[in-house]
Amino acid sequence: MDSPWTLPTVLLCYGQLLPWLMTVGDQSLDEFYNETEAKLFLQFYEQTAQVVLNQFMEAAWNYVTNITKKNREDMLHKELERSQVMVYFGSRARLFKIAQFQDRAVKRMLSKLLDIGKAALPKAELWEYNKLLAYMETAYNMAQVCLDEGPCLPLEPDLQEIMANSRDQKELLWAWQGWRDAVGRQLRPIFEHYVILSNKAARLNGYKDMGALWRSKYEDETLEQDLERLFQELQPLYLNLHAYVRRSLHRHYGPDIIDVRGPIPAHLLGNMWAQSWVNILDLVLPFPKKPPEDITKIMKGQRWKPGKMFEEAEKFFTSLGMLATPPDFWKKSMLERPPDGREVECQTSAWDFYNGKDFRVKKCTEVNIKDLLSIFHQMGHMQYFLQYKNLSILFREGANPAFGEAVGSMVTLSASSYQHLLNRGLLSQQHQDSEEEVNFLMGIALDKIAFIPFGYMIDRFRWKIFDGTIQKDIYNQEWWNFRLKYQGLCPPIPRSEDDFDPGAKFHISASMPYIGYFISLVLQFQFHEALCKAAGHMGPLHQCSIYNSKMAGKILGEPGVGSRETWLQHTLYPPPDVLKVGSSKPWPQVLKELTGKSKMSSEALLSYFKPLLNWLVTENVQQGEILGWPDFSCSFPERRKPKAAFLSMELEPKTARSGQWVLLILCIIMFLMILGLASRLFIMEKQSANKDSSDNTETGNTNFLCVPMEPHQAARGQWLLLGLCLILMLCSIILTIRIFTWQN
């Protein structure tokens, strides 16, 4: 029999789906859907998916690097084609009796095909859902905050620079509130519909809601319990950091802004979302007489450019004996904001175009140490792409959704180490004393430790929205309840359900899962510890850099010439090449090959920050700090409600508005009555004029309102009546304008 997987040419045109449902339950086809046919089916999937995914990625890239209506429509059409193909292959994959197969790779690939995500939606709803997602992401990317008299500022770099560098709490509040007004309020009316369609897609895939679908990617039944365990293990470190930072901000801003026993206002931590506090290091430095060198200033003095920053990151990986990026990377990537003025999405990201040779980074690079470390992170993603490029498309992803992030962040731990920066000419002082070491660790902690509760709570919040625990009428209230509970933060001004502050975070407006960032925070230190041991590092973990360690490189991926033989001299086992396996193995197995443990552990992270934690505990005890924010909530003092003036009276706004509407209606009624009366009188006057014309001619009088009078008196009366009508009309118009102006 000819293989059916090469026949449906309509599929290659991404047109219509074959009537696979007709075959379900046909026992005569059971032998046909065997393991051999499954392999042919998967080969056909590879050929088709490579074309479809590549075209979709190109369309998506064109859109985010040139945001236009046409590019958005092109992307949406390619997304629809991709979804049609996913539906076809996902539906066919269900016909195979996977449990009876022997080949583990075949079973794993077919299992991955079963979940087709949002593509499970009916075509009309899928198109609507994709448009909704595109609108939400575009609203975020295009948002700006405008000065009263001056230009409008985008998030990157302008608003982020204000949040990072300003120490004027009023200016910080302006940027903080302005961004949330510009983004969140746009998304508030549509977010509920997004939730409904997301959950419908999840149920069509066999999950109770979208949160369950997202969690399923980790293939771990105890995921939520494991995450809670990790959070509880790390919480003492965060609480000590929070208490110390709160005290430092109290010294700077004073008791009117900071309560030393309460939560911290969210706009004072140097970051639009308060997820990283590293930008306020100057306010919280443990030993201010020994400030760290300004690496950004050194970079600018050495005339670093975005291209050099990427080259520096690549040198790190090639020093490990790993793969260099292909030439097309440098030609096709967007390494800095385009100078031609087109609108682009500046959210940093790494892209795999699924053809084994095209990999790109999108970043609006600024010359500073923060962006340099971000580039190291993105080049970690590049290395992952390069290592697993020869696998099936189904396996071209991290071992779990957090692995890629962990690999990139693990590299930044080495790249930001004092010794590495010194060796690369970005520091001049040869040695650190104990106080300088605490200052150094504080800088790392303000980025890593401050992120712990933020990374944990984002998806816990969304999971409860998806499962219905959090209803639409309390989205914003619950958002700040979560931020208070986990982070000890409050909004600097009262918020309401007209606001939608979660939408001011990219990953929420772009519908991207976030729990992987929390998991990667833990995994990166596990990876770092394992590779430092392989590199032969002796001493505190925070002093380790794996730069130039071929042994560490061999554990991660592609070995260099003679490296495998070198490895075998040190161990009985071959190098695991953990990046090369992608997601072809269960992630606990890959984790064990790398670290010796199959479970996530906080031990390495706590070891890294142990000197700082000891210092923080001592400092907080001496200051009599209270850890946490007991008995505090994000409530605000009762404020006098604004009054509205109406007929020289100060009334409640609703009462005043009602009075205005009543007065307007009365004016309209009177206006209509006067018009009717005038019309009636005009008719009567005309009839009377004809009848009495002869009498009036003799006397010289004129009738007005059926009364004979002198002509000049009648004319004056007519003008008075006309004036009254005009005044009433003007009154109606002015009141109408006043009411609508007041409402807005």
Bind-site residues for chloride: 218
The two tokens of residue 712 are 């000049």
Strand, helix or coil for residue 248:
helix
Q: Are strands 649-651 and 702-704 parallel, antiparallel or unpaired?
A: unpaired
The two tokens of residue 528 are 């770092």
Rounded CA-CA distance 491/180 in Å is 11
Rounded CA-CA distance 410/417 in Å is 11
User: For the chain, how long is the longest CA-to-CA vector?
Assistant: 137
Choose among 127, 129, 114, 124: nearest CA to 196: 129
Beta partners for residue 361, in sequence order: 350
Rounded CA-CA distance 475/481 in Å is 10
C-beta neighbour count of 131 within 10 angstroms = 14
Choose among 606, 241, 246: nearest CA to 442: 241
Q: Are strands 152-154 and 264-265 parallel, antiparallel or unpaired?
A: unpaired
Quote the DSSP letter at residue 706.
T
Name the strand (E) or helix (H) holding 264: strand 264-265
Is residue 179 within 8 A of residue 506, CB to CB? The reply is no
Rounded CA-CA distance 45/255 in Å is 64
Rounded CA-CA distance 38/32 in Å is 9
The two tokens of residue 544 are 């380790």
User: Sign of the C-alpha dihedral, residues 69, 73, 74, 75?
Assistant: positive
Rounded CA-CA distance 573/576 in Å is 8
Alpha-helix runs per DSSP H in 5-68: 9-12, 35-64
Rounded CA-CA distance 421/262 in Å is 38
Rounded CA-CA distance 230/638 in Å is 39
- Please give the annotated binding residues, written as ranges: 218, 377, 381, 405
Rounded CA-CA distance 657/669 in Å is 18
- Please give the annotated binding residues for Zn(2+), written as ranges: 377, 381, 405
C-beta neighbour count of 197 within 10 angstroms = 20
Rounded CA-CA distance 332/145 in Å is 31
CA atoms within 13 A on the CB side of 378: 28
Beta partners for residue 351, in sequence order: 360
Q: How far is CA 561 from CA 566, 580, 581, in A?
A: 10, 17, 20
* Cis, bond preceding 157 (omega within 30 deg of 0): yes
Quote the DSSP letter at residue 156.
I
Q: Are strands 264-265 and 489-490 parallel, antiparallel or unpaired?
A: parallel
How many Å separate Cα 186 from the centre of its chain? 15
Rounded CA-CA distance 92/22 in Å is 11
